[in-house]
Structure 1
Amino acid sequence: MRFAGRRAFRTVAAALVIAAFAGCGTAMAADGTPLWTSSESSGSETPAPRTPSTVDATSGGPSTHGPTRPPAPGPGLPGADTLTRTPPPHAPKMHLGGPAKSATSTGTAAVALTFDDGPDPAQTPKLLDLLAKYHVKATFCLVGQNVAAHPGLVRRIAAEGHTLCNHTWRHSLTLGKQSPAAIRADLQRTNDAIHRAAPGAPIRFMRAPGGNFTPAFVSVAADLGMASIYWSVDPRDWDHPSGESDAAHRARVTHAVQRHTGRGGIVLSHDYAQPDTIAAYRNLIPWLKSRFRLIAL
């Protein structure tokens, strides 16, 4: 009976999480590439063509004192070419194959693990313990409201050498369709919350909720010193179909990551209210580490 009670609670919790954060990921094609679907038809957009465009993997991040605002080429917000300025010759280049030229590759042979929607007081510490056990660094895309609620976890994430990424204040799937001023206010509010929790921590990246990037979203993020990151592998760990058992869910997530991760991959996963994701990574991290160099973006 105790087991059944816990299972029922987790089912309700999962439903609530899906309602709050639906659309964090997208479906994948057979070759592991994203299908560019949106969770909201009103927020869908035509994907950018897959071109060899690149962005300096270091230019998205400012100094250790936080985001800076590079001078705009003219009045108003900088253009989309802000992200394609010529990088130093030694810097790795991230491939911009995502919506609105967001990054879909690390630009090197290394693989990046990214975790969205946290921090979560129950799951994020377990994930951090697991990453520390295997000496792996990851990228955490943080929701501002959760940052404000759990600043101590943000401090721990930064102190343990992981990369911080802005995932907007409240995970609005349509923020990219709002005005540049509204986008800027949301991203800046989230950055400010992160810096209150972890003063001086760099915030080099931004990820749009649901992957719903727009040119304005990417441009404003660049103006705030952040490169925009999409993904190349989406195991849909946030999706809990009716009737899928915990074991089946873990097996599905594990299989998707193992099948579709390749050199330069950016893997999307979630630590917020996703205990099965953490369980899956207990096997995935050693498997991935034996095949790839794992990096924080």
Structure 2
Amino acid sequence: MNGATDENGRGLSYLSAQALHYLFFAIRGQQFLRRRASLGGSHWPAFGVPGAGIALTIDDGPHPEWTPRMLDLLARHQVRATFFLIGDRVREQPELARRVLAAGHTIGNHSMSHPQPFAALSRQRMRAEISGTQDEIADATGVRPRLFRAPGGNWSRDVLRTTADLGLSAVDWTVNPSDWRSPGVHRITRTLSRGRAGQVLLCHDGGGDRSQTVEALETVLPRLLDRGLRFVTPDGGR
């Protein structure tokens, strides 16, 4: 009987997490349309950044091919970004995590193994996913991240509470080109080019072939810079 109860509980947690996942699609759409995206707090993730800057965030690395190419691209345009790293991949590529930091970028926590839906995990598993990544990044770089992004942006009250309990700030995004789907360079370029001051752009350097993302950013970064936008990081760095 207990087994059936546990199974029902897990099923309800999964359905609730999936419902939250789709709810946040609508919330991000509203944030994009607002004059200023929300800066977040203890009960809400940050969708935007203060001031006249724009933030570029890059998820799912480090990757042995795409992270170096992304770093080279950012260096050419003198753009700072925030890399939300996966703990298991940091363990495999610690030198790349160090290279990200040495290049002046901010490192954020993106969980240990990127389980989805993240909000369906038990509080104990959530905490282990986040704290384990903190340890991996600290071991590799000597720095403990201050920012956390839930895999898939799957937030819940428990995810936000666990994030805060571990001393991290929750960061979401405002502009999503769905580059992880490889929708084509033109579509990624068009979506990211719509970004404006105060918003957070989402891109990826891990989880698959990211050649379209790199090619699109070759166009997008100078385009946004030509509009007078300054690239900042969600922790306040420039």
Is the TM value for this pair above 0.5?
Answer: yes
Q: Structure 1 residue 42: deviation in Å?
A: 4.9
Q: Separation in 2 of the partners of 1:216 and 1:113?
A: 26
Q: Separation in 1 of the partners of 2:47 and 2:82?
A: 14
Pick one of 222, 225, 234 that aligns with 2:167: 225
Confirm or deny: 8 A CA contact 1:128 1:157 kept in the other structure. Answer: yes
Pick one of 254, 266, 272 that aligns with 2:189: 254
TM-score, L = length of structure 2: 0.80
Question: Runs of 4 or more off by more than 3 Å in structure 1?
Answer: 46-50
TM alignment of 1:84-123, pairs within 5 A: 95-96=39-40, 101-123=44-66
Matched letter for residue 194 of structure 1: I
* Correspondence for 1:266: 200
Confirm or deny: 8 A CA contact 2:137 2:144 kept in the other structure. Answer: no
Q: Separation in 2 of the partners of 1:112 and 1:105?
A: 8
Distance 1:240 1:49, change over 3 A: closer
Deviation string 1:14-40 (CA, Å, 9 cap, x unpaired) is: xxxxxxxxxxxxxxxxxxxxxxxxxx8
Q: Secondary structure at the match of 1:136?
A: coil
Deviation string 1:252-290 (CA, Å, 9 cap, x unpaired) is: 10011112x111010001011311101111111111122
Q: Structure 1 residue 41: deviation in Å?
A: 7.5
Q: Separation in 2 of the partners of 1:102 and 1:136?
A: 24
Confirm or deny: 8 A CA contact 2:123 2:158 kept in the other structure. Answer: yes
Confirm or deny: 8 A CA contact 2:82 2:233 kept in the other structure. Answer: yes
Q: Structure 1 residue 49: deviation in Å?
A: 7.0
Distance 1:239 1:109, change over 3 A: same
Q: Structure 1 residue 159: deviation in Å?
A: 1.2
Q: Structure 1 residue 108: deviation in Å?
A: 1.9
Identity %: 37
Q: Separation in 1 of the partners of 2:27 and 2:82?
A: 26
**Structure 2: gaps (5+ residues):** 1-14, 29-36
* Correspondence for 1:244: none
Q: Separation in 1 of the partners of 2:91 and 2:211?
A: 22
Q: Which is richer in helix?
A: 2
* Correspondence for 1:234: 176
Confirm or deny: 8 A CA contact 1:44 1:212 kept in the other structure. Answer: no
* Correspondence for 2:223: 287
Deviation string 1:68-105 (CA, Å, 9 cap, x unpaired) is: xxxxxxxxxxxxxxxxxxxxxxxxx96239xx611100
**Structure 1: gaps (5+ residues):** 1-39, 51-92, 242-248
Q: Separation in 2 of the partners of 1:278 and 1:290?
A: 19
Confirm or deny: 8 A CA contact 2:53 2:230 kept in the other structure. Answer: yes
Q: Structure 1 residue 177: deviation in Å?
A: 2.3
Q: Structure 1 residue 135: deviation in Å?
A: 1.4
Greater Cα offset, 151-160 or 178-187:
178-187
Q: Separation in 1 of the partners of 2:163 and 2:230?
A: 28
TM alignment of 1:1-297, pairs within 5 A: 42-45=17-20, 46-47=23-24, 95-96=39-40, 101-199=44-142, 201-240=143-182, 249-259=184-194, 261-272=195-206, 273=208, 274-291=210-227, 292-297=229-234
Matched letter for residue 231 of structure 2: L
Q: Separation in 2 of the partners of 1:240 and 1:129?
A: 21
Distance 1:203 1:123, change over 3 A: same
Q: Separation in 2 of the partners of 1:49 and 1:212?
A: 12
Confirm or deny: 8 A CA contact 1:43 1:173 kept in the other structure. Answer: no
